[in-house]
Chains A and B, each alone.
Chain A
Amino acid sequence: DAKTTQPNSMESNEEEPVHLPCNHSTISGTDYIHWYRQLPSQGPEYVIHGLTSNVNNRMASLAIAEDRKSSTLILHRATLRDAAVYYCILLSNFGNEKLTFGTGTRLTIIP
């Protein structure tokens, strides 16, 4: 399975943008990049996913490098509710896709 590398923790001030990086240098051409987050005492929550082009949804934006070896999850205006562990995951398109979470990035929002 292709692996991802994320910083263990990050801090951000409330109402400021947050850029969460993820390195996936061994990504294959058919791997989708997914982001999930897990708030305390809750199950993981889908955030966004993409393949090659940058993606936007109501929660966040996903910026994918041209060589696809890295990506950045962008929270445009962090709130206290965004404090969570964020996971960057690769899912392949070969019929054996399954979410394998690494350690993720623990995001702390400072009021």
Chain B
Amino acid sequence: KAGVTQTPRYLIKTRGQQVTLSCSPISGHRSVSWYQQTPGQGLQFLFEYFSETQRNKGNFPGRFSGRQFSNSRSEMNVSTLELGDSALYLCASSSRVGPYNEQFFGPGTRLTVL
């Protein structure tokens, strides 16, 4: 099985712009979660989707949004980029929801905001 794929792998944007990141989960996985990882804050949960519905949301401003399509692929969007949005954005997929399931992470998208 192919793993979780994320595109693009690297992205450079300037303040005020918006960005869309894409995640393709492992085939058959219907749950997709997004995380932001920075050296200072560690890995923080953004949101989780299951069958096109947002199940959970972390403590991020409304500039961060996401969606999931019927084929389970997911996108996250960040509008009005700020310097502090520079981070590694990770996507993880799981076959089911629940605290007993393992999540499979993609390689991440490294976003740099100048």
User: Which of A92, A95, A100 makes the CB contact (< 8 A) with B45?
Assistant: A100
Contacts of B33 in A (CB 8 A): 98-99
Main secondary structure of the interface of A (DSSP, over half): loop
CA distance A100 to B37 in the complex (A): 11
- Which residues of chain A are within 8 angstroms of B44 by Cβ–Cβ distance? 100
Q: Does A97 contact B (CB under 8 A)?
A: yes
* A43 and B99 contact, CB distance less than 8 A: no
Q: In the complex, are the beta carbons of A92 and B103 less than 8 A apart? A: no
- A49 beta carbon closer than 8 Å to chain B: yes
In chain A, what residue has the closest Cβ to B41? A101
Q: State whether A98 and B105 are in contact (beta carbons under 8 Å apart), knowing that A32-B99, A32-B100, A92-B99 are contacts in the complex.
A: no
- Whether the pair B106, A43 counts as a contact (CB closer than 8 A) is yes
Chain B facing A: main interface SS: strand
Interchain CB contact under 8 A, B100 and A46 = no
A98–B56 touching, CB < 8 Å: yes
Q: How large is the interface on B (under 10, 10 to 19, 20 to 34, 35 or more residues)?
A: 20 to 34
Q: Which residue of B lies closest to A41 (CB)?
A: B107
* A99-B102 contact in complex given A42-B107, A44-B90, C-beta closer than 8 Å: no
Is A16 located at the chain interface by the 8 A CB criterion? Answer: no
Nearest CB of A to B26, in Å: 12
CB neighbors of A among B48-96 (8 A): 48, 55-56, 58, 90, 92
**Among candidates B48, B55, B107, residue contacting A43 with C-beta atoms closer than 8 Å:** B107
Complex contacts, A93 vs chain B, CB 8 Å: 98-100
**Which residues from chain B contact A96 at a C-beta distance below 8 Å?**
56
- List which A28-77 residues lie within 8 A (CB) of chain B: 30-32, 34, 42-46, 49, 51
- Give me the interface of A with B, judged by CB distance under 8 Å: 30-32, 34, 42-46, 49, 51, 87, 91-93, 95-103
**Closest 10 CB pairs between A and B?**
A43-B105, A91-B99, A101-B43, A46-B102, A98-B45, A97-B99, A32-B99, A44-B105, A93-B99, A43-B90
**Can you list 26 residue pairs at the A/B interface with Cβ under 8 Å?**
A30-B99, A31-B99, A32-B99, A42-B107, A43-B90, A43-B107, A43-B108, A44-B90, A44-B92, A44-B105, A45-B105, A49-B102, A91-B100, A92-B99, A93-B98, A96-B56, A97-B97, A98-B45, A98-B56, A99-B35, A99-B43, A99-B103, A100-B43, A100-B45, A102-B42, A103-B42
